[in-house]
């Protein structure tokens, strides 16, 4: 009995010490990571706010706008896996800083676009420069946080997507309204300048603040470094190692890529078309549209925080992703049905945001369950690459449907049906390694 009490006391003390070190690491890394990803995601939503003015100035149809928006994704997809492998080779600190600086320059260069083909070319370049950022950060988190903390940390990272909607959407509306014509630049050009230039400073800060591994962190005590690196090493050994190319061909990796493809169709459907849906429903004021567009992201942020903690405490990752994507499906169906009723449309978008925005970080707790090391760097990049193809399908689908039918409703119904398919796969077609309970498997 005495031994049991002492053993329980030691475990509690060890867990408390580990929690303390994790908090220290989180406060060091996560605020900067959130700000960096805020600007990455802001770059994805500002194109939706620039849409109307940009189309007018460049003479773009809805289909042409959708094609240009999807070229960003094409550039991202083509360079995704190579970028993450280079990150593994050169170290996250230097490579993430390079990504921030290069894509900041490319985004700011949108102020020089005057023709349709310049728009196409630069959107492709921006995607290529940003390639590898999100999967690189996800891989970076696996180097610092044991798996029982990854739900919260991944959700914290993806809070930036919600903040980009909550803060970025109103700011986009205000920039379009009040900076239009300043210094001879249209409002949509200011939007890209505001989104690009801060990334140069952030890249420099990443170089100063990041360390590649726990072992390199001089701001941790030697005992703290040993505690966390020991936990991470044990978990890596439990997963085991295989060759990089074999990990890419693993059925679980390809299945996760297809699931993420379906999630990204839903995500891009929200990001690229929410402002347009709100305008069509009756909002003609850019600033007001910006504030209304923030609603689904506010709901997504709340959902993200709650689900991140619940999935960590339960360990049931796949079930939570399925529940969230089912909620997104219902939101798409409702948005299509209430496309002319602005109050009900905002309610539908709120549900949609609560589902799809929170589904993404919860999904990213799944890949580290089956890969580690260079396999994780390449495998996570491949999954993200396959998923980002949804960013090509979604803008083009909605744009073409709207051009031909005059309404986005049929496209919203199709995206809703794909969300249902995604949820069914998550519940009934996952391999055992991905269905395992993290709390049980971590002991």
Burial-class residue 2 by CB neighbours within 10 Å (0-12, 13-18, 19+).
exposed
Under the banding of pLDDT at 50, 70 and 90, the label for residue 3 is very low
Tens digits of per-residue pLDDT, 290-347? 788 888 988 988 898 888 788 877 878 889 999 999 999 999 999 989 888 889 999 9
Task: Tell me how many domains the chain contains.
Answer: 1
Q: Greater confidence, 248 or 34? A: 34
Q: Is the pLDDT of residue 442 over 60?
A: no
Under the banding of pLDDT at 50, 70 and 90, the label for residue 9 is low
Task: Give the range among 65-74, 201-210, 330-339 with minimum mean pLDDT.
Answer: 65-74
Q: Is the pLDDT of residue 98 over 90?
A: yes
Q: Greater confidence, 267 or 326? A: 326
362 lies in some domain: yes
39 lies in some domain: yes
218 lies in some domain: no
Give residue 417's pLDDT.
Answer: 94
How far apart CA 303 and CA 31 sit, in angstroms, is 19
% of the chain surpassing 90 pLDDT: 24
Radius of gyration of the chain (CA): 22
What integer is the mean pLDDT of 127-135? 88
Candidate ranges 119-133, 237-251, 287-301; pick with highest mean pLDDT: 119-133
Under the banding of pLDDT at 50, 70 and 90, the label for residue 348 is very high
What integer is the mean pLDDT of 166-188? 80
Q: Is the pLDDT of residue 288 over 90?
A: no
Q: Greater confidence, 109 or 280? A: 109
What integer is the mean pLDDT of 67-92? 84
Q: Greater confidence, 432 or 137? A: 137
228 lies in some domain: no
What integer is the mean pLDDT of 199-228? 91
**For position 278, which CATH number holds?**
1.20.1250.20
> Which CA distances in Å does 406 have to 53, 120, 399, 403, 410?
19, 24, 10, 6, 10
6 lies in some domain: no
The two structure tokens encoding residue 161: 């997507």
Q: Is the pLDDT of residue 133 over 50?
A: yes
Q: How many other C-beta atoms are found inside a 10 Å radius of the C-beta of residue 405? A: 11
SS3 per-residue string spanning the chain: CHHHHHHHHHHHHHHHHHHHHHHHHHHHHHHHHHHHHHHHHHHHHHHHHHHHHHHHHHCCCHHHHHHHHHHHHHHHHHHHHHHHHHHHHHCHHHHHHHHHHHHHHHHHHHHHCCCHHHHHHHHHHHHHHHCCHHHHHHHHHHCCCCHHHHHHHHHHHHHHHHHHHHHHHHHHHHHHHHCCCHHHCCHHHHHHHHHHCHHHHHHHHHHHHCCCCHHHCCCCCHHHHHHHHHHHHHHHHHHCCCCHHHHHHCHHHHHHHHHHHHHHHHHHHHHHHHHHHHHHCCCCCHHHHHHHHHHHHHHHHHHHHHHHHHHHHHCCHHHHHHHHHHHHHHHHHHHHHCCCCHHHHHHHHHHHHHHHHHHHHHHCCCHHHCCCHHHHHHHHHHHHHHHHCHHHHHHHHHHHHHHHHCCCHHHHHHHHHHHHHHHHHHHHCCCHHHHCCHHHHCC
- This prediction has a pTM of 0.73
3 lies in some domain: no
Q: Is the pLDDT of residue 377 over 70?
A: no
6 contacts: CB under 8 Å, gap ≥ 6: none
Q: Greater confidence, 284 or 281? A: 281
Give residue 374's pLDDT.
Answer: 65
273 contacts: CB under 8 Å, gap ≥ 6: 48, 395, 398, 408
Task: Give the range among 99-103, 116-120, 288-292, 368-372 with minimum mean pLDDT.
Answer: 368-372
Give residue 53's pLDDT.
Answer: 81
What integer is the mean pLDDT of 168-181? 80
Computed over every residue of the chain, the mean pLDDT equals 82
Give residue 330's pLDDT.
Answer: 96
Under the banding of pLDDT at 50, 70 and 90, the label for residue 256 is very high
330 lies in some domain: yes
Under the banding of pLDDT at 50, 70 and 90, the label for residue 76 is confident
| Range of the structural domain that residue 67 is part of | 28-212+250-441
389 lies in some domain: yes
Under the banding of pLDDT at 50, 70 and 90, the label for residue 6 is very low
């Amino acid at each position: 009995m005495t031994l049991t009490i002492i053993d329980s006391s030691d475990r509690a003390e060890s867990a408390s010490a580990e929690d303390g070190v994790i908090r220290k690491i989180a406060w060091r890394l996560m605020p900067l990571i959130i700000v960096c990803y805020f600007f990455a995601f802001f770059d994805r939503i500002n194109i939706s706010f620039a849409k109307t003015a940009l189309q007018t100035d460049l003479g773009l149809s809805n289909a042409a706008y959708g094609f240009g928006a999807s070229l960003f994704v094409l550039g991202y997809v083509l360079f995704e896996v190579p970028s993450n492998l280079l990150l593994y080779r050169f170290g996250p600190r230097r490579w993430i800083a390079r990504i921030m600086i290069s894509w900041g320059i490319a985004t700011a260069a949108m102020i020089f676009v005057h023709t349709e083909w310049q728009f196409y070319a630069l959107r492709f370049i921006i995607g290529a420069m940003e390639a590898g950022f999100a999967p690189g950060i996800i891989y970076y988190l696996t180097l610092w946080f044991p798996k029982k903390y990854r739900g919260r940390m991944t959700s914290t990272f993806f809070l930036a997507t919600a903040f980009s909607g909550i803060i970025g959407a109103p700011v986009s509306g205000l920039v379009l309204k009040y900076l239009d014509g300043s210094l001879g630049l249209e409002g949509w050009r200011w939007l890209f300048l505001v989104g690009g230039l801060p990334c140069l400073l952030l890249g420099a800060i990443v170089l100063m603040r990041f360390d590649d591994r726990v072992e390199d962190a001089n701001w941790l005590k030697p005992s703290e470094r040993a505690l966390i690196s020991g936990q991470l090493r044990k978990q890596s050994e439990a997963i085991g190692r295989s060759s990089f190319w074999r990990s890419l061909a693993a059925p679980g990796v390809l299945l996760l890529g297809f699931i993420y493809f379906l999630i990204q169709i839903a995500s891009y459907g929200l990001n690229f078309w929410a402002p347009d849906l709100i305008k069509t429903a009756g909002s003609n004021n850019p600033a007001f549209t910006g504030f209304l567009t923030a609603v689904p992201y506010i709901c997504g942020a709340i959902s993200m925080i709650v689900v991140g903690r619940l999935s960590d405490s339960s360990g049931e990752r796949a079930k939570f992703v399925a529940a969230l994507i089912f909620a997104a499906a219902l939101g798409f169906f409702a948005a299509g049905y209430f496309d002319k009723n602005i109050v009900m449309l905002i309610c539908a978008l709120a549900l949609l945001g609560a589902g799809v925005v929170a589904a993404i970080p919860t999904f990213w707790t799944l890949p580290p369950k089956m890969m580690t090391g260079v396999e994780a760097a390449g495998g996570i990049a491949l999954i993200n690459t396959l998923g980002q193809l949804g960013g090509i399908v979604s803008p083009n689908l909605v744009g073409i449907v709207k051009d031909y039918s005059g309404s986005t409703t049929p496209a919203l119904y199709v995206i809703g049906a794909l969300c249902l398919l995604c949820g069914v796969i998550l519940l009934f077609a996952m391999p055992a390694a991905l269905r395992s309970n993290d709390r049980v498997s971590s002991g």
